[in-house]
């Protein structure tokens, strides 16, 4: 789950926190010179030889949830068939850590998170 924050531990900066995003541990916003750049683990995994399925999905709508469930199922099936490793990243909100209502959090995710972490398959060699 990528919600760009460690929300369950007080809202600290996470490896996926966006540039400029404010958290408890970077109250002025993530600065690349000070904190480094956000980690895009899904793109990294898509370049590994052993991966067969790498995708990024989200959960902001019913349609998105259905796609995410389908992706998770595909990852398990590919693994059970011995096709290789899979990674399914789920981009999600953290309305408590972001201090936003659920509606505002979904809007913020759509307007900000999907620019850095666009949805879709990054690698699929499963033939499924």
> pLDDT per residue over 48-96, tens digit each?
999 999 999 999 999 999 999 999 999 999 999 999 999 999 999 987 7
pLDDT score recorded for residue 8? 67
Sheet of 120-124: strand order equals 85-91, 51-58, 120-124
> pLDDT per residue over 8-22, tens digit each?
677 889 999 999 999
Q: What's the rounded Cα separation, in Å, for the pair 102 and 79?
A: 34
Q: What is the pTM of this model?
A: 0.89
Give the domain range for residue 48.
5-124
In this prediction, what percent of the chain has a pLDDT beyond 70? 98
pLDDT score recorded for residue 53? 98
Number of domains the chain is built from: 1
């Amino acid at each position: 789950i990528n919600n760009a924050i460690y929300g369950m531990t007080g809202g600290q900066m996470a490896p996926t926190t966006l540039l400029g995003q404010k958290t408890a541990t970077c109250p002025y916003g993530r600065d690349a010179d000070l904190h480094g750049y956000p980690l895009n683990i899904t793109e990294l995994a898509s370049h590994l030889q052993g991966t067969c399925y790498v995708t990024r999905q989200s959960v902001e709508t019913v349609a998105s949830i259905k796609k995410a469930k389908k992706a998770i199922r595909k990852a398990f099936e590919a693994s059970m068939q011995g096709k290789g490793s899979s990674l399914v990243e789920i981009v999600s909100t953290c309305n408590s850590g972001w201090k936003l209502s659920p509606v505002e959090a979904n809007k913020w995710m759509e307007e900000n998170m999907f620019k850095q972490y666009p949805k879709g398959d990054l690698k699929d060699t499963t033939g499924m």
